[in-house]
Structure 1
Amino acid sequence: MSFTISRRSIFTLPDLSSLSPFSGSDGKGPQEIQTYHERKIFPYKPSQLHSLVSDIESYPRFLPFCTGARILSRTPASVNETETFQAEMTVGFLTFKESYVSDVKSRPNEYVEVVASSSTPLFKTLNTTWRFQPASPQSPHPSWGSSLPDPPSAASSAASPAAQRDAGPTLVTLDLAFSFANPVHAAVSATFFGQVSKMMVKAFEERCLDIYGPGNK
């Protein structure tokens, strides 16, 4: 499955807060809002991918340059309802270390939306949304090689609507919109965004493999 990218920029280095899955830059001035869009099919259930992305406190275990993550406050939600919470991310590279706060909305199996708090001095704008949608069972995934998965069985076809909505594979969509408050951060990020973007995508895929294995065809 190929990537569709409108602007190649996810994370910045010196302003390494953009090195989390919730930030980025393509080197334009801080007044301009930059966007990043990516779509890819993973051989996992929406619930599995949502669980991985919404577990912000686990980010330091696998995201490059993420040195800390913690939940500041949380509003409980009932089953299958939207949960809201605030999270602080700390990122570091060489002598640089930055922290920023984001407001997070998370709806089970559907999306995780992250918006930088107005009290965060690093960004004028930072909006990130992960969406998870069941994909066709006939959609190939790079880890499957060139062969297509087997057709769904009669048992799977007779599954309940809820089970079908949480069946793999899953189309993952990532949308980012951001602009830096500091022109120095925006300028420095232009040197690194391509390399870091690839590192972050790879880290996400490797985390899926570590937690869930190669996935199901």
Structure 2
Amino acid sequence: MPIRRKRHKVPQSAAQMFALVADVERYPEFLPGCRALTVTNRKTLADDTEIITADMLVGYKMFEEMFRSRVTVNRSALSIDIHYLQGPFRHLDNNWRFRDLDQGGSEIDFYISFELRSRGLGLLVGGLFEHVFVRMIDAFESRARIIYPPSITAS
């Protein structure tokens, strides 16, 4: 069962990085392997937490799968939790935490854990996991540099 956690500093503010990751509908524009994403339900709670149900079509070469997840976007805590609902996984949990740093920029704390239902597919994906993980983190950071260039980043 692949598990990975990364804490990383970026020049963008916590609010900027939170907004970028929370904007799930834009993932197909920049996230490697994300071929399509459809929000099927969106609900805002009284505390301004947003619950999104989304179907994501992911693919790599000939492999293509759709899965559904629940995305909990907590604006006051600057946290995003993704929980698997339906598709090829036994489980998938993904968490993002963002905090501003005193010296400027922010720290991103990213965690992902998953297990696929198919043992064969699990072995294949498990071997690619580190590569996919690094590409995914790089894609978010590259997107942040485009949307929030360091020269105009709020401290």
TM-score normalised per structure 1: 0.65
Do the aligned partners of 2:2 and 2:129 also contact (CA within 8 Å) in 1? no
Instruction: Give 1 or 2 for the bigger CA radius of gyration.
Output: 1
Consecutive unaligned residues of structure 2, counting only runs of 5 or more, are none
DSSP 3-state at the match of 1:37:
strand
DSSP 3-state at the match of 2:31:
coil
Deviation per residue, 1:34-80 (Å, 9 max, x gap): 321100111122211111001111001001111101111011235x6
Coordinate RMSD, CA, aligned: 1.7
* Higher RCO (CA 8 Å, separation ≥ 6 residues): 1
Identify the residue that residue 40 of structure 1 maps to in structure 2. 8
Take 1:182 and 1:61, find their aligned partners in 2: how far apart are those partners? 29
Tell me which amino acid in the other structure corresponds to 1:38.
K
Identify the residue that residue 97 of structure 1 maps to in structure 2. 64
Consecutive unaligned residues of structure 1, counting only runs of 5 or more, are 1-32, 138-167
Tell me which amino acid in the other structure corresponds to 2:127.
T
- Asked if 1:65 is matched to 2:33, the reply is yes
- Asked if 1:115 is matched to 2:83, the reply is yes
Shift of 1:124: 1.0
Matches within 5 A, 1:70-81: 70-78=38-46, 81=48
Q: How many residues align?
A: 152
More strand, by proportion: 2
Take 1:51 and 1:75, find their aligned partners in 2: how far apart are those partners? 17
Percentage identity across aligned positions?
A: 27
More helix, by proportion: 2
Shift of 1:216: 5.5
Shift of 1:192: 1.9
Aligned pair partner of 1:82 in 25, 28, 49: 49
